[in-house]
Structure formats: structure tokens, C-alpha cells
Copies of this chain bind each other. A is one copy, B any other.
Amino acid sequence: MAIIVQKYGGTSVGDPDRIRNVAQRVKAQHSQGHQVVVVVSARSGVTNALIERAKLLNPLPDDREMDMLLAVGEQETIALTAIALHGIGVPAVSRTGAQAGIITDDAHTRARILDVTGGDIRQQLDDGKVVIVAGFQGISRNGQVTTLGRGGSDLSAIALAWALKADTCQIYTDVPGVFTADPRVVPDARQIDVISYDEMLELASSGSKVMQARSVEFAQKYRVLFEVRSSFTDQPGTTVKNEAPNMEQILVRGVAVDNNQAKVTLNDLPDRPGVAATLFQALGEEGVVVDMIIQNIGRGGLANLSFTVAKEDVPRAEGTVREVLAKLGGGQLMPTGDIAKVSAVGVGMRTHAGVAATFFGALAQAGVNILMITTSEIKIAVAIEPAQAAVAARAVHAAFHLGQP
């Protein structure tokens, strides 16, 4: 008899038929004698509808009241899921985030989990009940409803799995698992059976949208093993766990493409100490997350500097750059252009040489021009022209034989 935490996202509970499907899946586990905790999100579309309703009344709604408002989405789903389970003869009880003891700080709309008590979940499980918990939400020390921000329901599930010492934590989603590349871009992409937290994190930050990095970070910190799998099939998904020695036999675990990047370029900067520091400090204060950075010395001893940001951050980044240039009294902002980032990730890189050579060789052979390069211990990434992203991904995927079992 195992303790299983299952998490179902908004599309998995989007309509009555899908809620019934979730109920049947839960029943299958429960009838085998397992203790099942189910974390659910709001039905897809509900959260956005609530946000729209609020903005009609006030374009800048208060964060605390938004949390009070958005929390109703998950509360509706937990009740409906429990009601569906009762309908097929499974004893079940719903719990809000507060009742499940998801204690957070009071940073409304993006609260951080401080503790998870589990409330009375263990007792309900011992009484033979399935417990349905509202994901995405918690309660602050002073009794206020909070929400965890993007990817919050995954985080709720992983945090509960930790608190309950669950044997398994299954994150159900609309994809079958984590793939060696996006199958829409790379036709022979394969599903990955096992992946390390570090690799999952690098893939998440490289444009693979399966999970938010914060949930993986929490799982890594508290050593919560979890599985990403589809709620529409019975196939096993991808297990995310602590690194194992045999993982290093594989050089590259997967290839990710991020098409949501832009390159901001500053030319003819005065080449004196502190210029880069001033610029990136100002960007940081504006909340602009910078990814890749390159700098070199151009004509006349003046520096050229480029960095990449998410497309939606371009206006803020350009505004900050203009202010900094005005203060510096030199340099000019060039037109910003979209780029694609193609990354190869694998813990095997730590102990194997030659990965970069294979990577760059594959791109050269495919005729892809590299604009920028960045590396970490377990990742190599390049910025290239967006039009070449698919060709580049396929070339790198093939070079590391990722299409072969």
C-alpha cells in the first residue's frame, strides 16, 4: 500500500467528461489499496475569466484581492472532483490549500511556501478516503488566502508529496512526458524515461515548457521523486529524480528550442571598467532577466555588447538601456532583433570532453550561423536566426543520436 500524490492540470479537469476521467483514474489506484491524494488546478479558462472580470472593475487590482478571487477556481474543482468520485462509489473529501496546511509567506499572487503541515490529510487517508486538495493556493501566517503564481499547482503537489512522505508523485499533463526534443520540430524525438533534476531545470530554462523551474527546484531541494505523465493515456511518463551514476553514460539528454528571445545590442560603448556593471545592475533593478551576454572590442577601442531577453521584456530593456547610455554619455542602441536559442542538456557533459565540438560541428554542417554562445556545466546553448531553429535542433538531435533508443 503506497501513498500516491497525483496532480491534474486545468485541461485535465476542463469539463465534466474530463473530471469523470480523472475520477476513474483515481478509483483505479484507490481500489488497489493505495492511499491517494489528488491535487487539482482550476478548470482551464476559469482563471483567465476571473482576471478579466476583475480588470473590468479596476485595471490594477490589488494582489491580496486577486488571490481571494483566483482561489475560487481551484475550490470549485476540488468539490466537483470529490462529487464525481462519490458518484462512482469512492469515498473522498476535498481540502482547500489552507485546510491542507500549505503555509506561505504573504507575497500575494507569487507566495513562497514556508511549510506544509498536511492538515488532517493523513487521518483522512487512514480512514480510507481519497483527499482532493486545491493546488496553486495556500494561507499566510496571518490567515490570508495566497496563491503561488505560475506553475503553482505542480508545486503544491510536490510539496504535499514531501510533507506526506509519498511513495510517488505523478504530475499529469497534456503531454506524455519529457522528450529529447519538441516532436513537432524534431520528428524522431523520443520520450525520456529518467532525467535528473539538474537536466530538467536546464531544459525548463531553455524553453521546454513542461514544468516551471521552481517546482523542480523544490523537488530537488527536498529530494522528491516525481513523474510527468499524460492524463489521456496509461503509458508511463518521465521520472525526474536525483542524479544516478549511470546517467552520465548519456552525454546529452535533450535538445530545447526557445523562440521567445530577442537580442539587444549596444555599439561603441566607452571601454572602461564599470560600464557593464552599471548596465546590468539597472536591468536587474527593472526586473529584466538577462540570459546570454557577449562583449567584444570594436573599432577605435570602443566596446560592442549584446544580450538576450524574453521578447516581452524588450520595451523595458530598451528603456533602461537608453537611460544608462544617457548617463554614460556614449554608446548607441542598435535595432533589437528576434533570435532563437537552441540548447543541448545532459549531466554527462560534466565528465566527457568533446560535446561542444560535436555540437558546433553539427550546426556548421547544417549551415547554421552561430550569433552567441553560452555554456553551463551541463548545457551548451547558442543564439541563432529564428528561421534556422528547426534545422539546428534536428542537426544537434541527430548528432547525439537522441532518436535511437
Contacts and interface: CB of A to CB of B under 8 A. Distances in A.
Interface of A: 16, 19-20, 50, 53-54, 56-59, 61-62, 64-66, 68-69, 71-72, 75-76, 78-80, 82-84, 86-87, 93-94, 96, 99, 143, 145
Contacts of A58: 83-84, 86-87
Contacts of A80: 53-54, 57, 69
Nearest to A16: B56
A72 B75 contact: yes
Nearest to A84: B57
A65 B53 contact: no
A76 B145 CA distance: 13
Contacts of A59: 87
Contact of A76 (B19, B64, B72, B86): B72
Given A93-B64, A143-B99, A57 B83 contact: yes
B50 A76 contact: yes
A357 B66 CA distance: 62
Shortest Cβ-Cβ A-B pairs, 8 listed: A58-B87, A69-B79, A72-B72, A68-B79, A57-B84, A61-B83, A16-B56, A65-B82
A86 B93 CA distance: 36
Contacts of A76: 50, 53, 69, 72
Contacts of A82: 62, 65, 68
Contacts of A79: 54, 65-66, 68-69, 72
Given A72-B72, A72-B75, A75-B75, 18 more contacts: A53-B80, A54-B79, A54-B80, A54-B83, A57-B83, A58-B83, A58-B84, A58-B87, A61-B83, A62-B82, A65-B86, A66-B83, A68-B78, A68-B79, A68-B96, A69-B83, A71-B75, A72-B76
Contacts of A64: 93
Contacts of A94: 65, 68
Nearest to A68: B79
A66 B75 CA distance: 11
A50 B73 CA distance: 12
Nearest to A57: B84
A96 B64 CA distance: 13
> Which of the listed residues A56, A59, A66, A68 has the most CB atoms from chain B within 10 Å of its own CB?
A68
> Which of the listed residues A78, A80, A99, A143 has the most CB atoms from chain B within 10 Å of its own CB?
A80
A19 B57 contact: yes
A234 to B, nearest CB: 22
29 contacts: A16-B53, A16-B56, A16-B57, A20-B57, A50-B76, A53-B80, A54-B80, A54-B83, A57-B80, A57-B84, A57-B87, A58-B83, A58-B84, A58-B86, A64-B93, A65-B79, A65-B82, A65-B86, A65-B94, A68-B78, A68-B94, A68-B96, A69-B75, A69-B79, A72-B72, A72-B75, A72-B76, A72-B79, A99-B143
A398 to B, nearest CB: 48
A280 B330 CA distance: 96
A350 B56 CA distance: 54
A83 B71 contact: no
Contacts of A61: 83, 86
Contacts of A86: 58, 61-62, 65
Contacts of A143: 99
